[in-house]
Amino acid sequence: MKPLLVTLALILLLAAGCAYYQKEVIPKDLYTASQIEDNGLTVGDHIVKSKYGFRLFTIPISMPEPSEMISSSIREYHGKGVTNLEVEFSEFNCLLFGIPKLKVTADIVK
């Protein structure tokens, strides 16, 4: 009976780390083609940025934030927003840890 309880407790402990989810909102600086045309804006630089995070036992220790990456890119390139936005999330998992990768691809609107 005792080994069963220990096994059950271990499974519950490991499953608790799997409750991670990421909630992101669409950035307010996202422009459509018609908005760019109507406002007389132009599409500038094409950016590709990647950031890595770290998970221990599936518990996120540090996670890359897409909204932070987009905002910093807009400031860096002196733009008004982005268009053609793609956000790609991938992760390398090992037994004890995981390394999530976030890749943001977009065009800067000026």
How far is it, in rounded angstroms, from Cα 61 to Cα 95? 16
Give me the pLDDT at residue 12, please.
58
pLDDT at 81 over 70: yes
How far is it, in rounded angstroms, from Cα 12 to Cα 19? 11
Confidence tier at 103 by pLDDT (50, 70, 90): very high
- pTM, rounded to two decimals: 0.70
Domain annotation for the chain: domains and CATH numbers: 23-109 (3.30.110)
Confidence tier at 22 by pLDDT (50, 70, 90): low
Q: Return left, alpha or beta for 92; rule: phi > 0 is left, psi -120 to 50 is alpha, else beta.
A: beta
